[in-house]
Structure 1
Amino acid sequence: MSTDVLPLLTEPMREVLRIQSRQNVGSTRETTPAEQRRQYAAERAYWNEGGPTMAETVDDLVAGPHGPLTVRWHRPEGAVRSVIVFIHGGGFVVGGLDTHDRIMRALAADSGAVVVGVDYSLSPEAKFPQAVHECAAAARHVAERAHEHGVAEGAISLAGDSGGASLALAATLLLRDQGGPEVESLLLYYGMYGLVDSRSRRRLGNEWDGLTPSDLEFYLKAYTSGSQDLADPYLDCLGADLSFGLPPTYLLAATLDPLLDDTLALMDALEEYGVPHQLRLVDGVLHGFLHYSRLLPEAVEALAEGAAFHRSVVAGRQPATAHH
Structure 2
Amino acid sequence: MQASTSSTSAWQQLKNRDLSCEEALHLLVDSQGIVNLQLLDREVTYRFLKQVFDRRALPPVIPLLLWRNCYYLGSPVALSEAAIASLREQTAMAIHVIAIAEQSYRAWFQSQNFDQNRINAEVAINPLTGEVEQENIGKMTELHLSKATDQIGRIKTLISGALRNRASDIHLEPTLDGLRVRYRIDGILRNITTLPLEVSRRAVVALKVMADMDISESRRPQDARISEKYVSETEAEVGLDMRVSTLPCVGGEKAVIRLLPRQNPFSSIDELGFSDKALAIYKGWLAQPQGMVIFTGPTGSGKTSTLYTSLQAIATEHVNVVTVEDPVEYVLPCITQTQ
When the two structures are superposed, what TM-score results if normalisation uses the length of structure 1?
A: 0.25
Q: Which has the larger Rg? A: 2
Please identify which structure carries the higher helix content. Answer: 1
Please identify which structure carries the higher strand content. Answer: 2
